Structure 1
Amino acid sequence: MTLHTNEEQRLLLMGCGGVGGVIAGGLLQGGRDLTIVTRNEKIYRAISANGLRVTTPEGEWNAPATVYTHLDEIEGPFDVVCLVMKGTDVEQAARDVESHLAPEGYAVTFQNGVVEDRVSAILGRERVVGALVGWGATMHAPGVSEMTSRGEIIVGELDGRLTPRVQRLKATLESIGPVTASPNIYGVLWSKLTLNCATSATGAVTGQLLGEMLRRNAGRRLALAIMSEAVDVAEAHGISLEPVGGTLDVYQLYLPPERRGGGWGLDLVLKHAIMLAVGTKFRRLKSSMLQSIERGRPAEIDFLNGYVAERGQEEGVPTPVNAALTAMVREVEAGTRNISPDNLEELLHC
């Protein structure tokens, strides 16, 4: 069985929150044959009754949609499966969907962090395409999603080849917005990972908005140390990082190990200025990990700082700050540590 043409492809999307709602709405607006699965009964009922309501910088629309709550209600196979749930749920989703994939079908991973290796262990590396979402989104109500900032989706084969199927996927996703096919998807994913590691988990343990954290010298120092450890691990694994959003070069923020404990110098002025600019631009950004903890949901720490620490251990690369932050988030989840800005000072002494 050969992979269908764009017009004939059957698409399945699993997970329909903020990002998933925008992706689903864009695909439906583009006339794609899309089926949605969500475990959330409120989202299921809202979409069944009213369709998907989507707002982007380009406009608003309502899209009727076919939606289910369980995969066993659906007859496969599907050519492309978009996995758009939290990283904590993606492995089970991959197991569940495996039998619904067409012989040449594949899954596309849209998670924060790096989940591709775990999904590949279930489906096979040749049946996974990585993706990065470069815009923000929120779900205002069940079935009501908004793209809150501009950006692009980047997709790529895990082995770096620009294959016909990834070019076909690019064309399919362009009904959502700009899409780039990358020959270095791991470099793209790791670049975003370094930034997420410095912002999401720190927000979860301090309870602060990004602007509040990065206004403090201590907050900027900690962020630089976290990102520098991630760069060390990426390089140890032979991964070359790509500029974030095509502009922010993570290597510009790199500090060698001997400079991460403090001190000052002219080389730090630019790095702190960049972090201040990021903090100013995204000053109202609330950590998604903090929001998960507040809702009683598992944090994605194992796919962010925990992943960096794990991959660092494989190559003997020290990651004391990422490891300590991972442990701290787990303590917050367990209720043995309070969320407080004081946690930031403790991390600086790792």
Structure 2
Amino acid sequence: MSLILNIMRIAVIGCGGIGGVVAGILGSQESDVLCVDINKDTVKRINDRGIRLYGKKGNINTSVRAVSSIGDEEGEFDVIVITVKSMVLRDVFELNKDHLSNDGLILTLQNGIEILDIVKDFPDVKTVAGAVGYNSQIDEKGEYIVTAQGGITIGNLTTGSDEDLLRLKNIFDPGILIDINRNITGVLWSKLLIVCGVTGLGGCSGLRLGELLGHREARQLFYRVVTEGASVSKKLGIQLEKFGRAINPEKFGDHKGGYPIFARYLLLKLIGITRQNIKAGIILDIERGNRTEVDFINGAVVKAGMALGIDTTVNREIVRVVKEIEQGNRRMTKGNLLEIMELNKR
């Protein structure tokens, strides 16, 4: 911990849409924040201009330092926030865990559930996982736009205490509201299922959220995606959890206790209207020529389902279609949704 005013020393690793907002808000709240990103252009932009964000969390312009590697800095960190993509999470976790102070902790913020396997290999590293409820993207000027309001739900995965969670809450509030949940595994799975539906189907079709959820086929596939994922989580003994303002995704499934079809329709339509311009992360990755996270999102449901003998046809087909798009063998179109619907009927 910094000796000056006992300010927490925080490193934010990965300054994309989620990490940039975290760094900007914490920096504006007088935390000692260091940004770490392997993209040299991002590092230069942050050092030259600071972090600028606007939208649902207000307008913030704050000066923070940025480096390409945490090893470039002397000393240790009280909190390391890791917001990188799921496919590199394990490597980044292993590389940076030794830069924690004696009582330091890692907070991971991803769409997937990869951290649940990682902590099994590092049970002595104090690790807190979080599910992000807001949405943000980087615009053409390198500024961060928050397109949907929300906070972060956190919980301990290893040796952390309630005091550690309260410490994080005090650091983030009021800029980013923090909810604490003792069943963080259930929260992560709930977030995963929502992302499987929204991001997976968005990546197949190329449609923004409002237009996507306006199509009957997309809504029907969303129900199937969630039903498959909820079946897997139930078999694993995981109780899905409502997080933030979100609805428990199990309510969108075809299980006992799910909402009637008409209620599901109205809720998805409402989500589409209130978040109509959101573009799925998979779409952004494809447009930028980057590898997508589909193997760690819908693919995570497929992998677990195969091990348990549970059918995950729709999630499997989403993975197949997205990978064909990645490889340049298919375009993002609404027709891909119709194809998956037909395959699901067989």
Q: Fold conserved (TM > 0.5)?
A: yes
Letter in 1 for 2:264: K
- Separation of aligned partners in 1, 2:310 and 2:140: 43
Query: Match for residue 36 of structure 2?
Result: 37
Distance change >3 Å, CA 159–CA 79, structure 1 → 2: closer
Query: Match for residue 126 of structure 2?
Result: 127
Query: Match for residue 254 of structure 1?
Result: 253
- 1:14-54 alpha-carbon deviations (Å, 9 max, x no partner): 11122212111111122212211111222211221222223
- Separation of aligned partners in 1, 2:137 and 2:321: 27
Q: Residue 223 of structure 2 contacts residue 254 of structure 2 at CA under 8 Å; is this kept in 1?
A: yes
- Separation of aligned partners in 1, 2:7 and 2:106: 17
Query: Match for residue 286 of structure 2?
Result: 293
Per mean C-alpha deviation after superposition, the further-off stretch among 56-65 and 90-99 is 56-65
Distance change >3 Å, CA 59–CA 249, structure 1 → 2: closer
- Separation of aligned partners in 1, 2:2 and 2:155: 17
Query: Match for residue 145 of structure 1?
Result: 144
RMSD: 2.6
Residue among 263, 266, 272 paired with 1:270: 263
CA-CA distance at 1:291 after TM superposition = 0.9
Q: Residue 160 of structure 1 contacts residue 185 of structure 1 at CA under 8 Å; is this kept in 2?
A: no
2:328 corresponds to 1:325: no
Distance change >3 Å, CA 334–CA 125, structure 1 → 2: farther
Paired residue secondary structure (2:92): helix
CA-CA distance at 1:141 after TM superposition = 4.9
- 1:219-267 alpha-carbon deviations (Å, 9 max, x no partner): 111110001111111111121112243452323211149xxxxxxxx94
CA-CA distance at 1:175 after TM superposition = 4.5
Letter in 2 for 1:46: R
- 1:251-304 alpha-carbon deviations (Å, 9 max, x no partner): 3211149xxxxxxxx942222222222222222222110110110111011221
Q: Residue 134 of structure 1 contacts residue 152 of structure 1 at CA under 8 Å; is this kept in 2?
A: yes
- Separation of aligned partners in 1, 2:159 and 2:71: 34
Distance change >3 Å, CA 288–CA 39, structure 1 → 2: same
CA-CA distance at 1:56 after TM superposition = 5.1
Q: Residue 119 of structure 2 contacts residue 158 of structure 2 at CA under 8 Å; is this kept in 1?
A: no
For structure 1, which runs of at least 5 residues remain unmatched after alignment?
258-265
Q: Residue 6 of structure 1 contacts residue 172 of structure 1 at CA under 8 Å; is this kept in 2?
A: no
CA-CA distance at 1:3 after TM superposition = 12
Q: With the length of structure 2 as denominator, give the TM-score of the two structures.
A: 0.89
For structure 2, which runs of at least 5 residues remain unmatched after alignment?
none
- Separation of aligned partners in 2, 1:119 and 1:160: 14
Query: Match for residue 196 of structure 1?
Result: 195
Letter in 1 for 2:308: E
Count of residues paired in the alignment: 341
Paired residue secondary structure (1:108): strand
Per mean C-alpha deviation after superposition, the further-off stretch among 282-291 and 151-160 is 151-160
Distance change >3 Å, CA 57–CA 347, structure 1 → 2: closer
Distance change >3 Å, CA 99–CA 267, structure 1 → 2: closer
Within a 5 Å distance, the mapping from 1:19-34 to structure 2 comes to 19-34=18-33
Q: Residue 119 of structure 1 contacts residue 128 of structure 1 at CA under 8 Å; is this kept in 2?
A: no
Query: Match for residue 314 of structure 1?
Result: 307
Distance change >3 Å, CA 74–CA 159, structure 1 → 2: closer
Distance change >3 Å, CA 287–CA 125, structure 1 → 2: farther
Distance change >3 Å, CA 240–CA 225, structure 1 → 2: same
Distance change >3 Å, CA 7–CA 235, structure 1 → 2: farther
Distance change >3 Å, CA 5–CA 329, structure 1 → 2: farther
Letter in 1 for 2:270: A
Q: With the length of structure 1 as denominator, give the TM-score of the two structures.
A: 0.88
CA-CA distance at 1:144 after TM superposition = 2.5
- Separation of aligned partners in 1, 2:127 and 2:141: 29
CA-CA distance at 1:121 after TM superposition = 4.6
Q: Residue 13 of structure 2 contacts residue 37 of structure 2 at CA under 8 Å; is this kept in 1?
A: yes
CA-CA distance at 1:11 after TM superposition = 1.3
Q: Identity percentage over the alignment?
A: 28
- Separation of aligned partners in 2, 1:197 and 1:125: 31
Letter in 1 for 2:274: K
Distance change >3 Å, CA 130–CA 338, structure 1 → 2: same
Query: Match for residue 77 of structure 2?
Result: 78
- Separation of aligned partners in 2, 1:327 and 1:160: 38
Q: Residue 19 of structure 1 contacts residue 145 of structure 1 at CA under 8 Å; is this kept in 2?
A: no
